[in-house]
Structure 1
C-alpha cells in the first residue's frame, strides 16, 4: 500500500467525513485502492462507514473483481475476503487465487474446504506448495478429493516430500498409500467414509505445471535431500548478471544437468538470464514454469521465449495470460508468428497486429491455415472500412 491518503484513513488520522467519503467512493483514488479500503473498513466503528463500505462492495460486479484481483498487491485481508466471503462465486475465487499475496492461512483454509477445479488450481501451483508444505497438508485433509487429485498428490509427495515429517504419514493414514521406490505402482486402499472412491479410474499424467506465480523460494523441509538443504549452493556462474564466457556457460550447463528438481526450481527463480535460458528448456514442466515466475525475468527474455518453437503449450498460455507481458507489441507479434502457440491464443491477439504485420501473417506459410484465414478476414474488414471512409470524403 503506497498511497499516503489510504494509509492515513486506515490509521484513523483523517477527519470522519474523509473516511465516509472513501466508503462512498467519493475520493480521488484508484478502483483498487477503494476496494482495499472498503474491505478493511467494512467493520468500522462508524455505522455510516460500515454500511457504505458494504453497499460499495455489493455494487461491484463479478467482472470487476475478476479484473482487479489477480494483479494488484492487495492487503492479504482483501484476498481472504474474496476467497472466503465471496468464494461462492468460483470466478472471483479463481481470480483471487492468481494473486501472489494470498496468505498461507487463507490457502490452508481453502485447501481444506475447497473442491473441484479450485483444488486442481492449488495443486497446479507447485512452487507455492514447495514453499508452504502446510497447504498440501490442508489439502490432504479435504473430504472431497477425487481419485485423480489423490493421484496427483501422491506423485507430488513421491517427488518432493518423501522426507517431510508429516505429509507421507498423512497420505498413508488418509488413503492407505505408502511411498515406494521411485516409479513404484500407485495402489489405493479403500478410504475412510467421505474420501475418494477406490474403484478403477483413468489416471492423468503425474505432475502438472504450476499456474500461479511463486515468490522467492526457499526449499522446504519436505524436499528430497539430494543435495541437502544445508549443502545446496547455486553455481556462481548462475548468479553473475554479466554475460558469461563460453567456458562459464558450458560449466553452468554441466552443473544444471547434475541438479535435483528442487535445486533447479530455486535456480530458475534466483539465477541469471543464462540460467533461465537453459532451464526454460528443461524436461520438467515445473522447472520451466518457475523460469516464468522469476522476479528477475526481463521483457526481452519473454520476447525471446515467445519465439521459441520447442516450448510447451502450457508455457505459451502462461505468457498470454500475463497482461504486463502482452502489453509489449513485440511479444504479441512473436506469439502470433510462432506456429507452436495454440490457435485460440493467437486468434485473441490478431486484432492487435498492425496492417503490415497482418499482411505478413497472411503470407507466412509456417502459420496454420486457420490463422491465415482469420488474418485475411481482418485485413479485408479493415480495408473495406478505410475505403468507405475515403468515399465519404
Structure 2
C-alpha cells in the first residue's frame, strides 16, 4: 500500500497523540482518500483508542467523503473492504464499492451474506461478476433477505413438496379409483404446462417478453421489470394492469434504470402521488431539476430527513438545508 506524504506525516510523531486522535475522529482537513487511509491504518494499529475512534468515524462519516475516496481508482482493496464492512447498509456508498475495480471477492462475499434491500439487489444484477464466482451466487441465494424472484434468477430451484401418500381404494370402488387415476394424469399434464414463470422466461425471445410485459399478471411484471433489456422492462410500466404500488416500488429501487424513471416522470397520475414524489427525489437517476421541484411538495419532516441523508446527492442535501433555513426566517 502506497502511503501518501500527508498520511505519512500524521503517522509520524508530528503533533503527537492529540493530532493523531483528531485525525482518527475525522477532524483534520484532508482529502477523502487520505482520510480513509489514515483511518484504515489506525484501525489496524496497536493503539486501542485510535482504533475505536477510527471505527466510529468510518461508521458515521458523511457519505460524500467516502464517495470522494471511492472515486480513486487505485484505492487499496483492503480499505474498500473495511468501508464495506462499516457501511454495507448504506446503498449510496455500496453502489460505488460494488462497481470499484479494486473491490475483492472477499468483500463481495461479505456483502452477499450480510446485505439486504437495494444493496443485495445491485449485487444480484452484476451478471459479469456472478458468472466468475459460483460461491458468490450461492451466498446470495442463502441470504435470508433474498426474495424468491432474485433466487430464481440466480438458478435456485424451488424444492418440490413431498406428495401425501394416496389412500388405498376400497375394493368396491375400482371404477372411482380408475377415475381418480385419470384425474391425476390430467393434473400431471397441467403441471407440465404450468412450468414456473421463471423457467418459461428463459426460453422466451425478446418479442415474447415484451408481449408478456404488456399483458402479464403481477408475477410476470415482477420478473420482467428486472430484465436488463430496456424494451422489456419499460413495457412493464405500460401494462394497463400495473398498480400504483408496483410503480412506487420501481421508483424506490436504486437499481431502476434512467429509462424507467423517465417513464414514471412522464405519467402525470403517478407523479401526483406524495410517496412517488418523495421516492423520485431520493432516486439517484432522477434529474436534479425535477427532484428539486418535487421537494417543494414535501413535508418539513421529510425535508429535514433529506438534509441529513447519506443516500442522496449533496445538491439535494444542500437544497433541503436551504429550504429549512428559509422557513426559520
Q: TM-score, normalised by structure 2?
A: 0.44
Q: Per residue, is there more helix in 1 or in 2?
A: 2
Asked which structure has the greater CA Rg, the reply is: 2
Q: TM-score, normalised by structure 1?
A: 0.38
